[in-house]
Amino acid sequence: MSFADTLRRHRRITILRTLAEAPGYGANESLLSAMLDHFRVTSTRDQVRTELAWLADQGFVLNEVIGDLLVTTITQEGLDVASGRRVHPDIEKPAPRKR
């Protein structure tokens, strides 16, 4: 697996885990981009939008354009992936949370 593939898998799980912890289970692309940077999964806005579209195609999120921003909400299927209850080959499996 290439570095780009590994980064893409990590970008996807980071987005899902961020949405799972967000109030109302949603966030806009700008906030998600900042959270990816915080976790050192640095991504361009285009990369974030590409991953959000891919996650929506898989049924893990719902996307809505409001003004100039893409706003995303995680689905139950996405919550299952974020928690590790469901595995997808193109998304990094989350490590157990430390207490």
- Give the residue ranges of DSSP H helices in 22-75: 29-38, 45-57
Contact 61, 14 (CB under 8 A): no
Fold observed for domain 3-83 = Arc Repressor Mutant, subunit A (1.10.10)
pLDDT, tens digit, 9 for 90 and up, residues 5-36: 999 999 999 999 999 999 999 999 999 999 99
pLDDT at 97: 72
pLDDT at 99: 67
| Residue 41 reports pLDDT greater than 80 | yes
pLDDT at 96: 80
| Residue 56 reports pLDDT greater than 80 | yes
What is the distance between the alpha carbons of residues 42 and 30, in angstroms, rounded to a whole number? 13
The pTM for the full model equals 0.94
| Residue 40 reports pLDDT greater than 70 | yes
DSSP structure class, residue 23: G
Angle at 48 between CA 83 and CA 84, to 5 degrees: 10
Summarize the confidence of residues 77-90 as an average pLDDT: 97
